[in-house]
Amino acid sequence: MKVVIIGGGPAGMMAAISASQKGNKVILLEKMQSLGRKLLITGKGRCNITSSLPIEEFIKNTPGNGKFLHSCYQNFTNQEIIEFLKEQGLEVKEERGNRIFPITDKSQDVLNCFIQKLKELKVEIRYHTKVEKILLQEGIGIKKAIGVKTQNQNIAADKIILATGGKSYPLTGSSRRWI
């Protein structure tokens, strides 16, 4: 299957890695000139990767109804992200408050792990590519997404993953609306 992923933050990069490992042809579209710009400023440039607490504590500490996160936390646990980084050669350390950081104290090293894996899997990455619209199949009834429209072309897709993140500093690729 051809999978198009919109947004090259941690969610989009990990989706690209996972979809590619399952044998799909993956295209990752990023509107900025580089991946993971928000990730770079996390934890004051050190990246607080995760917590060592059990998943139940994650749920409890989520404002509102955290229970809906159960299945995604079970699918990919805090231990699994630590293992993923270790496999790419990055060790982590635990600090007060059960917080996990890269041993190097550099968010860039965390980002490099994602980039390295994307390269290894030969995921196609298109920079400066802003998705403006999701293309829907014409017809009556439930509309199926069949591709995306960027500034200068349409890209067909069997599956589309929207990973455009939340609002933050504009330099991180953030904007009020996902387009």
Instruction: Give the interface segment with ligand FAD, choosing from 25-33, 55-63, 66-74, 86-94 (CB under 6 A).
Output: 25-33
Site for ligand FAD (CB under 6 A): which residue of 18, 24, 42, 51? 42
For residue 87, list its beta bridge partners. none
Cβ closest to ligand FAD, residue 25 vs residue 126? 126
Q: Does 17 bind ligand FAD (CB under 6 A)?
A: no
Q: Does 41 bind ligand FAD (CB under 6 A)?
A: yes
| Helices (H) then strands (E): counts for the chain | 6, 10
Instruction: Give the interface segment with ligand FAD, choosing from 8-16, 68-76, 120-128, 137-145 (CB under 6 A).
Output: 8-16
* Site mask for ligand FAD (CB under 6 A), range 135-174, x = bound: ----------------------------xxx--x----xx
For residue 5, give the H/E element and its range: strand 2-6
**Cα–Cα distance list, 111 to 78, 83, 167 (Å):** 17, 15, 20
| Least distance in angstroms from the C-beta of 157 to ligand FAD | 14
DSSP line for 91-149: -EEEEGGGEEEETT--HHHHHHHHHHHHHHTT-EEESS--EEEEEE--SSSSPPEEEEE
User: At 56, is the secondary structure helix, strand, or coil?
Assistant: helix
Residues that bind ligand FAD (CB under 6 A): 6-12, 29-32, 37-39, 41-43, 47-48, 130-131, 163-165, 168, 173-174, 178-179
